[in-house]
Amino acid sequence: FRQGYRNRFQATPWEAFFRPPLTPPKPRILGTQSAVVTGPKGEEIHCDRYGRVKVQFHWDREGQADDSSSCWLRVASGWAGRNYGAIAIPRVGMEVLVTFLEGDPDQPLVTGCLFHREHPVPYELPAHKTRSVFK
């Protein structure tokens, strides 16, 4: 019976700096972005069975503004539960606000809709500023 010891190592020259392998962190998107709801031509409302919509961000210059311009985005609601709640699906062409849960670009969420020149408020302002309307 013969015992032995074996060892192998690879040395780094003293002049060389040790650098651990790069593991870049997942990118984060902080804040809210504006986008436009998209869908196939001729459809006023485009959603899936969960009420999710697709959007095109203003910075997306290569998007086609159709039903393949993004992944499906969940739409936030003021009241949501199991088989009850309030729902208002944003229409194709509406401007929406998109946030990302915990800054994760893989978890976009529509948090609201915006009025603007092409989609004005449904009544004259400021003359009727005391009205609250769901039209």
64 within a domain of the structure (yes/no): yes
59 within a domain of the structure (yes/no): yes
Which domain CATH number covers 51? Answer: 2.40.50.230
List, in sequence order, every residue forming a beta bridge with 36; answer none if it has no partner.
56, 95
Mean pLDDT value across residues 111-125: 90
Q: How far apart are CA 89 and CA 73, in angstroms?
A: 11
77 within a domain of the structure (yes/no): yes
Mean pLDDT value across residues 65-74: 89
**Is residue 35 a contact partner of residue 95, using CB atoms and an 8 Å limit?**
yes
Domain coverage including residue 63: 33-114
Look up residue 36 and give its two tokens.
């436009």
| pTM, two decimal places | 0.77
22 within a domain of the structure (yes/no): no
Q: How far apart are CA 105 and CA 5, in angstroms?
A: 52
**Into how many domains does the chain fold?**
1
122 within a domain of the structure (yes/no): no
**Is residue 122 a contact partner of residue 133, using CB atoms and an 8 Å limit?**
yes
25 within a domain of the structure (yes/no): no
Look up residue 10 and give its two tokens.
């690879």
Tens digits of residue pLDDT in 13-36: 999 888 888 899 999 999 999 999
129 within a domain of the structure (yes/no): no
